[in-house]
Amino acid sequence: MQFFLDTASLDEIAEAVSWGALSGVTTNPSLYARVGSRQANFHEHIRRICALVSGPVSAEVTARETDQMVVQARELAALAANVVVKIPLTLEGLAATRRLSDSGIAVNMTLCFSVPQALLAARAGARYVSPFVGRFDDIGDDGTKQLATIVNALRNYDFNNRNDSGVAGGAVTWLRDDDELKASAPDDPLPNRNSPAQSGCVSDGADHPFAKRSADFGACASSRGIEVIAASIRNPGHVTQAALVGADIATVPFAVLKKCAQHPLTVNGLLAFEKDWEKVKNA
Ligand code: G3P
């Protein structure tokens, strides 16, 4: 499981990068508001985050209507090679995701709270889906149980070729196994599932301006063709559960990431080692 940092704070990102275990960053409008910057500076802020982190950086659209989401998403995707556009899991968001993924832009569908929503995100071509854990706990439900059902449901399917329709100009081809791959008609060439640009994570439209950019992320790490980002993580226990249920990524607030490394028994153990080392020095 990879660790993303769930923040828009440049200081937190720079420090977490220095710890050497960070694979990406996720932001949202609330997190941006927390850094105290203005709307007019949003694009520049995302550029600065992208310069700090080599992995994917999720930047969220604020529009609610499909066309406007697509416009905002294209602007965000043009900011840096490692931008992943965050789109809310609504009907309009699904339509926007389909259009964006068909043109090779990586999408993280956010505010996911159910299995059907996650399946629809995958079908619409999302590269990532973000089920929220803590917000279920907030309403007295079990967030990690909900996360597990989503991971398990997605595990039943292979979404690796979901982007074929937009690029090949033909019908959508949903493949479930290699036999179906071999059985496909030769005049409807299917992408090689092992190539990054054709793994389902990005479009194979090599001449599309975003194709190379998105391909920079390499092949989708998940054999399912969509990666699950456990979001709304509130404590190290959530991180443990996310790993146990097989989430691909946990996006974690700065304070929680720190707590993940700082186990009290590690601290106590170090104190004891230091004390004993002093004894040896003066022996
Ligand atoms: O990535 C989404 C996450 O930031 C939501 O977290 O704590 O606001 O539920 P929270």
Determine the Cα–Cα distance for residues 87 and 143; give it in Å rounded to an integer: 21
Question: pLDDT digit string (tens) for 143-175?
Answer: 999 999 999 999 999 887 554 433 322 222 323
Residue with the larger pLDDT of the pair 223 and 251:
251
Whole-number Å distance, alpha carbon 45 to ligand 1 midpoint, is 19
- Are 161 and 175 a contacting pair, CB within 8 Å? yes
Determine the Cα–Cα distance for residues 263 and 132; give it in Å rounded to an integer: 25
Taking the CA of residue 135 as reference, the ligand 1 atom at the shortest distance is 9
Catalytic, out of 86, 182, 275, 281: 86
CATH code, 2-281: 3.20.20.70
**214 — phi, psi (to 5°)?**
-70, -35
Whole-number Å distance, alpha carbon 7 to ligand 1 midpoint, is 9
pLDDT at 282: 80
Residue nearest (by alpha carbon) to ligand 1 atom 8? 232
Question: pLDDT digit string (tens) for 61-72?
Answer: 999 999 999 999
Cβ count near 189 (within 10 Å): 12
Residue nearest (by alpha carbon) to ligand 1 atom 7? 232
Residue nearest (by alpha carbon) to ligand 1 atom 3? 232
